[in-house]
């Protein structure tokens, strides 16, 4: 069966399923193609008749990776999906979900949110937005460089404000949520002036490197030390100019206007050769005047309630996934420690002795999780909780099924998503795990509805202001000593 909704830009026809309606591939901005490449999103051109909205829109241009096996080259990607619980009701809370994928990969169709929507009686919006070299490119003379993905997401939030009531959603009760790179972008919206008032709660799942640098090898073995995931606009302009010249995309000595005209004619497939260099949103311009690494600790952010957290073994995913190219062995462990921690290497080795772990890779996964994920997320929660209601969780199912073939099971990066959504290729959940996923979705959607995850039918979840961290595992929901579990007192004294 189908269902038709009249939007201000034209009618869309979605599809009715058992318990929910889905509308897919709805344009929220004009295609950013041709002369619109690397420009702020433009308004949608209205259409006549009824537009089919039963098939997904194009994901942003990307190359297939081990994380997401998507190859896409069509820049006409600014679309979104809307999932609505069945039954007439106005004023449902709205959740806008930003996908992960490292800033270069992913899309709205990579997860099906109908269980999340139906369990919590919320409207879920999942957008595609520009990624990598099309989302975070910068160049001298390019207005808005490094923020095109951020501006796309603001256009999504503007679309929600104008249109979501037509789907039964409440435009005055919008939660902006994201996982991994999506969570990083939520952090950007917390300080972006143009996002003020467009969302009313925020969820950050496994945000990485929001506030501080990450030592070498702790994100992925073999990767050098990383700065916070924000780029000064001037630095990004220099990088973009250097990359364009290196690839021969611009003529030597070209003025910025001529260079940008040539760059807008470079085939997408060629641009994607450099996409990995452009995953850091830029600050210093109108869209993001200040680095979130500075603004958030200083309290310069939008006062909305925040729910955030990590998985218990975040780093294991990356250490295992990239282990074939960059294995962690007993022989190279001392070198990795020295390159990561310098004079503190022996102290770290004593705190995480390899003989206490089944393999050196698991020892590295544990210390990487504690230093690169647990400590920064704890610090982020502290600066948020000083000024707004904040709730902290840890997803902790040791038997969570792998999210990609060939990766280990356990509570690693992204593993909670299979409990909240239907993911293509994800392993099946047992009865206790399904019950945990249902509880998580009820917590999350209670937060979306009221700005507090507390529910009378679930274990209590005090705010982080009390020091509480909620552990989420099958049959074991309740307080966890997160600080002790992740050795945060130790890491507070180690760079």
For the stretch 321-367, pLDDT in tens is: 887 788 999 999 999 999 999 999 999 999 999 999 999 999 999 99
**What digits encode the pLDDT tens for the residues 110-150?**
899 999 999 999 999 999 999 999 999 999 999 999 999 99
Confidence category of residue 68, pLDDT binned at 50, 70, 90 = low
Q: What is the mean pLDDT of the chain?
A: 95
Place of tokens 């390019």: 142
Mean pLDDT over residues 400-414, rounded?
85
**CATH number assigned to the domain comprising residue 322:** 3.40.50.1820
218: left (phi over 0), alpha (psi -120 to 50) or beta: alpha
Q: Give the residue among 388, 217, 407, 207 at the shortest CA–CA distance from 311.
A: 207
**What digits encode the pLDDT tens for the residues 217-266?**
999 899 999 999 999 999 999 999 999 999 999 988 899 999 999 999 99
Mean pLDDT over residues 455-477, rounded?
97
Q: CA-CA distance, 470 to 481, in Å (whole number)?
A: 9
Q: What angle do CA 150, 155, 161 make, to 5 degrees?
A: 130
Q: Which residue has the higher pLDDT, 475 or 67?
A: 475
Mean pLDDT over residues 148-172, rounded?
98
In a domain, 194, yes or no: yes
Do 128 and 97 contact (CB within 8 A), yes or no?
no
Min mean pLDDT across 174-183, 425-434, 440-449 is at 425-434
In a domain, 118, yes or no: yes
Q: What is the pLDDT of residue 252?
A: 84
Tokens linked to 131? 């990624």
Confidence category of residue 284, pLDDT binned at 50, 70, 90 = very high
In a domain, 111, yes or no: yes
Range of the domain at 364: 2-328+359-491
Q: What is the pLDDT of residue 67?
A: 62
In a domain, 345, yes or no: no
> How far, rounded to the nearest angstrom, does the alpha carbon of residue 25 sit from its chain's CA centroid?
20
In a domain, 258, yes or no: yes
236: left (phi over 0), alpha (psi -120 to 50) or beta: alpha
Q: CA-CA distance, 17 to 429, in Å (whole number)?
A: 22
In a domain, 346, yes or no: no
**What digits encode the pLDDT tens for the residues 99-109?**
999 999 999 99
Q: Which residues of 454-465 are buried (b: 16+ CB within 10 A; e: fewer)?
A: ebeebeebebbe
Q: What is the pLDDT of residue 264?
A: 98
In a domain, 351, yes or no: no
Q: Which residues are catalytic?
A: 180
Confidence category of residue 66, pLDDT binned at 50, 70, 90 = low
- Beta strand pairing status for 470-473 and 476-479? antiparallel
Tokens linked to 474? 């099958």
Confidence category of residue 405, pLDDT binned at 50, 70, 90 = confident
Q: Please report which helix (H) or strand (E) contains residue 382, including its range.
A: helix 375-385
Which of the 8 DSSP states describes residue 101? S
Mean pLDDT over residues 456-477, rounded?
97
Q: Domain tally for the chain?
A: 1
Confidence category of residue 70, pLDDT binned at 50, 70, 90 = confident
Q: What is the pLDDT of residue 331?
A: 95
225: left (phi over 0), alpha (psi -120 to 50) or beta: beta
In a domain, 264, yes or no: yes
């Amino acid at each position: 069966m189908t269902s038709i909704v009249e939007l201000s830009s034209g009618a869309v026809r979605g599809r009715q399923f058992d318990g929910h309606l889905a509308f897919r591939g709805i344009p929220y901005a004009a295609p950013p193609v041709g002369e619109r490449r690397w420009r702020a999103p433009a308004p949608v051109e209205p259409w006549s008749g009824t537009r089919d909205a039963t098939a997904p829109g194009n994901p942003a241009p990307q190359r297939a990776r081990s994380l997401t096996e998507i190859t896409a080259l069509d820049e006409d990607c600014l679309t979104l999906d809307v999932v609505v619980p069945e039954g007439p009701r106005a004023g449902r809370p709205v959740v806008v979900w930003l996908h992960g994928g490292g800033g270069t990969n992913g899309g709205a169709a990579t997860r099906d949110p109908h269980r999340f929507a139906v369990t919590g009686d919320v409207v879920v919006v999942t957008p595609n937005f520009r990624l990598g070299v099309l989302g975070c490119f910068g160049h001298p003379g390019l207005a808005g460089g490094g923020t095109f993905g951020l501006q796309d997401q603001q256009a999504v939030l503007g679309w929600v404000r104008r249109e979501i009531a037509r789907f039964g959603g409440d435009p005055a009760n919008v939660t902006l949520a994201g996982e991994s790179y999506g969570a990083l972008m939520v952090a950007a919206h917390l300080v972006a002036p143009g996002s003020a008032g467009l969302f009313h709660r925020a969820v950050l799942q496994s945000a990485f490197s929001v506030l501080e640098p990450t030592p070498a090898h702790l994100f992925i073995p073999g990767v050098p030390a990383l700065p916070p995931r924000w780029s000064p606009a001037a630095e990004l302009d220099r990088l973009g100019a250097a990359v364009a010249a290196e690839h021969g995309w611009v003529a030597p000595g070209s003025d910025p206007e001529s260079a940008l005209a040539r760059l807008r004619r470079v085939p997408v497939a060629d641009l994607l050769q450099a996409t990995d260099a452009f995953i850091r949103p830029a600050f210093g311009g109108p869209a993001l005047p200040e680095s979130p690494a500075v603004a958030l600790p200083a309290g310069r952010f939008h006062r909305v309630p925040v729910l955030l957290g990590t998985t218990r073994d975040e780093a294991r995913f990356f250490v295992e996934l990239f282990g074939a190219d960059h294995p962690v062995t007993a022989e190279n462990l001392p070198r990795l420690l020295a390159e990561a921690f310098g004079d503190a290497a022996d102290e770290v080795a004593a705190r995480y002795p390899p003989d206490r772990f089944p393999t050196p890779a698991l020892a590295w996964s544990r210390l990487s999780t504690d230093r690169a994920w647990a400590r920064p997320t704890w610090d982020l929660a502290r600066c948020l909780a000083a000024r707004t209601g904040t709730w902290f969780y840890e997803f902790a199912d040791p038997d969570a099924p792998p999210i990609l073939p060939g990766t280990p099971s356990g509570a690693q990066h992204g593993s909670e998503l299979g409990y909240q959504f239907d993911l293509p290729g994800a392993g099946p959940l047992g009865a206790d795990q399904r019950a945990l996923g249902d509880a998580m979705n009820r917590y999350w959607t209670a937060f979306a509805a009221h700005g507090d995850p507390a529910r009378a039918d679930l274990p209590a979840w005090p705010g982080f202001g009390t020091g509480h961290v909620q552990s989420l595992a099958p049959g074991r929901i309740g307080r966890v000593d997160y600080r002790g579990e992740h050795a945060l007192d130790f890491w507070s004294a180690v760079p």
